[in-house]
Structure 1
């Protein structure tokens, strides 16, 4: 790691040590946890289905007087959310974007969210190109769920833990404070900030659900990690069935399993990223999926190729 990266890591550590996310909520009694467990599961599973999605992003408050906030941006699309795993205490939801290009429906693999009940540890973003296992304080595990989010190639993006709560008659899951790498929409601009510090909320609505993010965009200034601008992101999922869906499920199941194996055996995940695509192997993993869909490669060869890419491009932490 070069001197700049080391300085950034030290600044991140110093900033992290100055906050106490566990103090935001008290421990949950075992009786209360047991009573809400099935409702928690129902709320997570309710995020599965077919949706029309609206992505609403706005940089609203600048913390650095020299920074000019971006104009608000609204986009959208069609998306399906599939339950690809449900063991009771673990639920995995895969998101797939569906677009129409020249009259043909196309499926574009999107993000994935893994929910684990009363986790002992969570894979979190630690610094550039690095995700590490972080212990959840033992007294804060009861009744809580972790959410780990993965990118289009099933490499890690961020993780955090939190709890379901009801306020003002609305039930939602609220995360601990979590670090995140830049989204592609920001990374390609090479901005003055290089990571986000975030509170993350999921809540069901009569028409679907919403994902609300309170993002503090952070950057290095005068050798210190400081806030640059505040961003508010509201992603609204409204149930909608007016499109077709298909995907190479077995291939992506094998890719997910390989990332999980690497995280376990190498003590986390160290993989290089680039602004335009995410991980440096994202394009090749997606190309294998396309080749499989088009019949240009057999399933076993696509899986073998994906495993080789992931193994050779990750490092032990």
Structure 2
């Protein structure tokens, strides 16, 4: 595991993190004007927690057999009948595509065997982890996302997790602290808004968004992702809870499938997807709001074409440069900046 001190030597950008950690050090710590933080003075407990957090996040990378277990449970409105339990699964490879120390990006890739015996790669969801973030992406309304400031007190010692859809457009984010309780170490988010998942968006439902909590935890031989979702919909002109849902995604270490297919796909398309991510980031860089047209079967109205171009690049049927030009056109045409650039003011601590 990369040590905190080693990271600081290798990445100057981490000095800001060190300064934040040092804020909790004893008052007797001496700082030389213009000098780097004195590492030995930083609270060792926070250093150890930071390294343990990183280890848990990085341990999610690997090759897995995945089980998706979804169950609507409690109806919150009279007359609604919860859906039957649904269980599915597959093979998923999770790769670390960025690690700056205080930011870790994990890309999920589904490996699907077709009836003719070939492997088809589905670029799946992406999760970005950031330590003590100054702002966090929030789902503010149907198809709308904005950056919300996080006060220094509310972000201290915490990690945000931002989840992106298959085309790297935003989905939801939350912030929380890794803690050990009853012998289990887990990360739990705050309550956070998110759009419907594909399983609901492809059919008629009385709800159109969720508010939920995410939990991540290591387990022997893998890790779990648990969601506690309240599905919300309009009732008599008001947004109200319709039904509760529990989702348990279990990632069990397993490599008896064509894991090389996932790596080959990513090697051939990484440059393309890097530009796609950058285009989305550019739209959010002014810390205003953006709107993305949602589309049930694929997430957004442009995700189908963006994913198809990735497949064509991988198969040698399209040049990366041409796909990048088209991707920029698609992202630009499907987004609308709703607010002028404004400096974000930190929210007051609760």
Q: Return the TM-score normalized by structure 1.
A: 0.89
The DSSP-based 3-state class of the residue aligned with 2:69 is strand
Higher relative contact order (CA 8 A, sep 6+): 1
| Match of residue 65, structure 1, among 78, 82, 87 | 78
* Alpha-carbon distance in 1 for matches of 2:313, 2:46: 44
User: Could you tell which deviates more after superposition, 242-251 or 58-67?
Assistant: 242-251
* Alpha-carbon distance in 2 for matches of 1:125, 1:171: 28
Uncovered stretches (5+) of structure 1, i.e. residues with no partner? 1-27
Match of 1:168 in 2: 182
The DSSP-based 3-state class of the residue aligned with 1:198 is strand
Q: Please, what is the CA RMSD of the aligned residues?
A: 1.4
Uncovered stretches (5+) of structure 2, i.e. residues with no partner? 1-22, 26-42, 339-350
User: Which one has the bigger strand percentage?
Assistant: 1
Matched, 1:275 2:296: yes
Q: State the number of aligned residues.
A: 290
* Alpha-carbon distance in 2 for matches of 1:315, 1:84: 28
Question: Displacement, 1:189?
Answer: 1.2
Match of 2:65 in 1: 52
* Alpha-carbon distance in 1 for matches of 2:213, 2:24: 23
Matched, 1:232 2:228: no
Match of 2:36 in 1: none
Matched, 1:289 2:303: no
Task: Work out whether residues 34 and 143 of structure 1, in 8 Å CA contact, stay in contact via their aligned partners in 2.
Answer: no
Q: Return the TM-score normalized by structure 2.
A: 0.80
* Per-residue CA distance 1:129-170 (angstroms, 9 max, x = gap): 100111113211111000000000000100111110111100
* Per-residue CA distance 1:64-107 (angstroms, 9 max, x = gap): 12101000010000000000000000000000000100100111
Match of 2:341 in 1: none
The DSSP-based 3-state class of the residue aligned with 1:68 is coil
* Alpha-carbon distance in 1 for matches of 2:310, 2:82: 37
Match of 2:234 in 1: 220
Matched, 1:316 2:320: no
Question: Displacement, 1:262?
Answer: 1.2
After TM superposition, the structure 1 = structure 2 runs for residues 47-126 of structure 1, keeping only pairs within 5 Å, are 47-101=60-114, 102-126=116-140
Task: Work out whether residues 60 and 231 of structure 1, in 8 Å CA contact, stay in contact via their aligned partners in 2.
Answer: yes
Matched, 1:182 2:196: yes
| Match of residue 241, structure 1, among 248, 255, 261 | 255
From the CA coordinates, give the structure whose radius of gyration is larger.
2
Match of 1:301 in 2: 322
Match of 1:134 in 2: 148
* Alpha-carbon distance in 1 for matches of 2:250, 2:289: 32
Task: Work out whether residues 123 and 268 of structure 1, in 8 Å CA contact, stay in contact via their aligned partners in 2.
Answer: no
Task: Work out whether residues 216 and 227 of structure 1, in 8 Å CA contact, stay in contact via their aligned partners in 2.
Answer: yes
Question: Displacement, 1:266?
Answer: 6.9
| Match of residue 204, structure 1, among 210, 218, 221 | 218
* Alpha-carbon distance in 2 for matches of 1:209, 1:29: 32
* Alpha-carbon distance in 2 for matches of 1:53, 1:35: 30
* Alpha-carbon distance in 2 for matches of 1:36, 1:298: 45
The DSSP-based 3-state class of the residue aligned with 2:177 is strand
